[in-house]
Amino acid sequence: MIAVTINGRHHELDVPAEMPLLWAIRDVVGLTGTKFGCGQGLCGCCSVHIDGRLARACVTPVGAVNGKHVTTIEGLSADRSHPVQQAWIAEQVPQCGYCQSGQIMAAAALLRRHPHPSDDDINQAMSNICRCGSYQRIRAAIRRAAALLAQGGEEAS
Amino acid sequence: MSGVLTRAHFLRLTSSTAAGLVLAIGLDGCWHAPRTGIGDTEGDGAGAFSPSAWLRIDPDDRVTVVLAKAEMGQGVATGLPTLIAEELDYPLERIAVAFAPSEARFAYPQDHGRLLTGGSTSMRSSWKVLRQAGATARAMLIAAAAARWGVSPASLTTRDGAVIDPAANRRATYGSLAATAAQLPVPANVPLKTPDQFRLIGKTTVRRLDVPAKVDGSAVFGMDVKLPGMKYAAIAMPPAFGGKVRSYDDRAAKAIRGVVAVVQVPQGVAVVADNTWAAFEGKRALQVVWDHGVAAQASSEQFFAESERLARDPSAGVIATTIGDVEHVAGRRVEAIYRGPYLAHATMEPMNATADVRDGRCEVWVGTQSPTVAQLAAAQYAGLPLERCIVHNTYLGGGFGRRTYPDAVGAAVAVSKTVGMPVKVVYTREDDTQHDFYRPMSVNAIAGVLDDRGNLVGLSHTVVSESVFHWFLPSLANRGWDRVSMDGAAETVYHIPNFTAKYVDYEPGVPVGFWRAPDANWNIFVLESFMDELAATAGKDPVAFRLALLGDNPRAANVLRLAALHGGWNGPARPGVARGVAIGPWNGSLSAMVAEVSMTGSLPHVHHVTAVADCGQVVNPDVVRSQMESAIYYGLSAALSGKITIRNGRVEQGNFDTYTVLHMDQAPGIDVITVDSHDSPTGIGELGVPAIAPAVANAVFAATGKRFRSLPFSDPS
Ligand code: FES
Ligand code: FES
């Protein structure tokens, strides 16, 4: 049994410890906002926060999160009120939307480490792939979220 | 919230097994009982009003728009409802959106019962139909109110989903009029608004309806479908094209915890499991002996060599276009050969489909560009008549042409049928890369003739590639040359007095398909790079050289002038930065771009792109901008490093480490300028692709004097 708290809710998962966290979240717990894109840690679609740190769930064995707190896109805010989500809406970032859960989780983590990132910081930190090419809007949205946070927006979770 | 399909709604939908239903989402975001009556007034005892297949107004004031087109990021889930909301005088943000399932009645009249999204035609084909649907419904609601109040329809107006009687200061909501309106005859030729009356079309204030569900993880993609009792399957497919299973040993696979069955299906060997990971692990453990088929020795080097031989063979191929006599025109001849690689689509969401084949019925859930094509595949693999198969659409995690092809649907249906359970088939990223319908590789022989003043007086362009239609609808390839494979080559925007275009169909047996702006995505790279070569040979400025050939094409001249103007073509560039220009026509739309590039070693770094788009009437300016950004990045990604190679009959690339795609740090800033136009919309989803690669290549030439006649730029050759 793996004991893990996901978005504040406790789960006891009867799965092999080596099962990637991604599939435990999606197929076992049933939260499908976290996406599968590559399964090799290369695209960032599966980005989640583990005890507040950014991680790629497809290359994180669920055994490694035993006793930890995981936040997925569903848990970032209850009502899309997280400054990064607000900025994403304001900049109309998503196209197909498939990469966006991961992009948002990565951006939220970046802003916690780095409240005022430059474009270079953003380019370096955001290694998530978007095949629809929302990159320019992601840069703008991260700058906007940084400004929202500076104005005292909700603390990134 | 907007009523775009979200997971909570979807789960409730999927617990129903009724065939032919379309899900309707309420204004409150709550899901309401599925109805079979969408699109017709009979069969809906609740008094809903539905004068066309794409619009339904319920007595409780819910307005549902059923999309005949797939939402793959290009914005139709906003653009199409915009057309109806505009004419209906209904608040767009209160419209609920549903995706049409595979039923012919949801297809537009001009589409002959086929539901298919592609070719950047969604807005073009919806433009009249959906405005007419909105205007007709509005006229009928007014007529219903006029009858109720005993006044003339002409004395009434509409606002925000209600009919208003200004004289008597009364109003009736559309929902309250729905039952009455449903009894009225459907009027023909209701007049449409003129552009000066638009309050949604062309306005910058309109926001995408699907964005909220795409920032909180609730949007449902095919990958997210979950049915009661559903199993997950991974398919071991023949690594070499045309290969087959000879035998397999499933003992190790079955020993994996969670694997419930291993079955052979026409697509390969399927490992069925309780979760996706167990299915993947089981597939990895499976031992399959393959018959590799005739293609087992094939390599892309051989294909290129043979294509090049054909390109130089005057007796090969079919003439697509002839104007004048390019063979005998006098002047200076310039010739070049260009080589383009196969490309994978690499949609962000790997291919997948969910099927439930039981009790003589087949139900499929998939994000597809064509529910119609998916239904055909479902019927084939289920062994059932078409009318016993239904395909429900979801959001698509990228399409780019790839989701026209129903391979994953066929696999899911075959596996579900074999195991008698609902099954979701998921491709790994490697499966997705290695079992694509690729952008064809291509060898192009192009030659130009310059007169003594350096004007282009002759051009011939030979394309050797695999026919895209050969792999889709062979009947459409029967004209002797494939219009898709020749897009961007059979015609040009330029006036050239002597012009020949020729197609040579070369079929090495690699599956090829529609790849965003097919195959202008390659042919325009050749043409616009070569135009630059000709300009250089003639000693002319690349913009001036092109403009001289655009005297009778003011639309193309306009986009080029605007790109030059806004891209600072005639101004000084920053040190180390060079500019390149190109024109990119796509299916009735036009773009021109100026790219600013500096070199990092032998690789171009693109700093900025100025892109001009003329797509007729702009319906949503922000979506037009985002689609240009998207297509430019997609084309740039391929130009920088996109390449699929074949060795021993199989694709050498697998995941994103070997099929590399554009990342944030390579993504230039993009300015998009749209041309003001009240011409009918001509499409935007692919327009940004054709011009970007040649604009960059031309900038590289300006920077270094090196001419890239093959892509990607990362290739050492
Ligand atoms: S799915 Fe985890 S990084 Fe791609
Ligand atoms: S929005 Fe489609 S992959 Fe990023």
Return the residue of B nearest to A135 by Cα. B664
B221 vs A: CB within 8 A: yes
Chain A residues whose beta carbon lies within 8 Å of the beta carbon of residue B216: 33, 73-74, 76-77, 80, 85
CB of A98 sitting under 6 A from ligand 1:
no
Spatial contact of B562 and B577, defined as CB atoms under 8 Å apart: no
Distance, in Å, from the CA atom of A156 to the CA atom of A91, rounded to the nearest integer, reads 19
- Name residues 62-91 of chain B within 8 A of A (Cβ): 71-75
Identify residue B102 by its one-letter amino acid code: S
Judged by its nearest atom, the ligand closest to the C-alpha of residue B661 is 2
- pLDDT band for position B473 (50/70/90)? confident
Question: Which residues in chain A have Cβ-Cβ distances shorter than 8 Å to B428?
Answer: 39
pLDDT of the residue at A14: 97
CA B592-B593-B597 angle, to 5 degrees, is: 160
Which residues of chain A from 112 to 151 reach within 8 Å of chain B, CB to CB? 122-124, 126-139
Q: Do B630 and A38 touch (CB under 8 A)?
A: no
User: Tokens at residue B356, please?
Assistant: 């439930």
Here the tokens at position B345 are 């689509």
B229 CB within 8 Å of a chain A CB? no
Residues A2-60: tens digit of each pLDDT: 999 999 999 999 999 999 999 999 999 999 999 999 999 999 999 999 999 999 999 99
**What's the pLDDT score for residue B3?**
35
Give the CA count within 13 Å in the CB-facing half-sphere of B654: 7
Per-residue CA distances from B509 to B341, B343, B366, B438, B512 (Å)? 15, 15, 27, 11, 9
Residues 620-649 of B with CB under 8 A from A: 622, 626, 629-634, 637
Q: Which two tokens stand for residue B259?
A: 């694997």
Element (H or E) spanning B301, and its range?
helix B300-312
Q: Any CB–CB contact under 8 A between A81 and chain B? A: no
Q: How far apart are CA B397 and CA B320, in angstroms?
A: 36
Mutation site, B204, B276, B277, B608, interface A, largest A CB count within 10 A: B277
Under 8 Å CB pairs connecting chains A and B tally to 177
**Which amino acid type is present at position B689?**
V
Give B36's pLDDT tier (boundaries 50, 70, 90): very low
For residue A147, give the amino acid letter. Answer: A
CATH 3.40.50.2300 fits B7-216, yes or no: no
Residue B151, Cβ neighbours under 10 Å: how many? 15
DSSP letters along B396-408, please? -S--TTGGG--HH
Q: Is A153 a residue whose pLDDT tops 80?
A: no
**Non-local CB neighbours of B382 within 8 Å, separated by 6+ positions:** B355, B357, B362, B388, B389, B413, B417
pTM over 0.90: yes
Choose the closest CB to B277 out of A23, A127, A130. A23
In B190-250, where does DSSP find H-type helix? 211-215
List, in order of start, the domains of chain A with CATH numbers. 2-76 (3.10.20.30), 83-150 (1.10.150.120)
Q: Please tell me the distance between residue A47's alpha carbon and the centre of ligand 1 in angstroms.
A: 7
Q: Counting atoms of ligand 1 from 1, which one is nearest the CA of A57?
A: 2
Find all residues with CB under 8 Å of B373, minimum gap 6, and list them. B116, B404, B405, B406
| List of chain B residues whose C-beta atoms are within 8 Å of the C-beta of residue A122 | 664
* Model pLDDT for residues B301-342, shown as the tens digit of each residue: 999 999 999 999 999 999 999 999 999 999 999 999 999 999
> What is the whole-number distance in angstroms between the Cα of residue B366 and the centre of ligand 2?
18
Is some CB atom of chain A closer than 8 A to the CB atom of B593?
no
Contact across the interface for A74 and B661, Cβ inside 8 Å? no
Give the CATH number of domain B300-342+438-704; options: 3.30.365.10, 3.40.718.10, 3.30.70.20, 3.40.50.1980: 3.30.365.10
Please tell me which residue of chain A has the smallest CA distance to B670.
Answer: A136
Q: Whose CA is nearest to atom 4 of ligand 2?
A: A130
Q: Are B595 and B696 in contact (CB under 8 A)?
A: yes
Q: What pLDDT does B294 receive?
A: 73
ipTM: 0.97
Mean pLDDT (chain B) is 92
Give the residue-averaged pLDDT of B198-223.
Answer: 96
CATH class of the domain comprising B222-293+351-426: alpha beta
Q: Do A136 and B670 touch (CB under 8 A)?
A: yes
Domain(s) labelled CATH 3.30.365.10 in chain B stretch across 7-216, 222-293+351-426, 300-342+438-704
Q: Which residues of A touch B218 (CB under 8 A)?
A: 33, 74
B478, B501 contact by CB (below 8 A): no
Token pair belonging to B423: 């099954």
The pLDDT-based confidence of B183 (bands split at 50, 70, 90) is very high
For the sheet with B332-340, list strands across it: B318-323, B498-505, B456-465, B442-450, B332-340
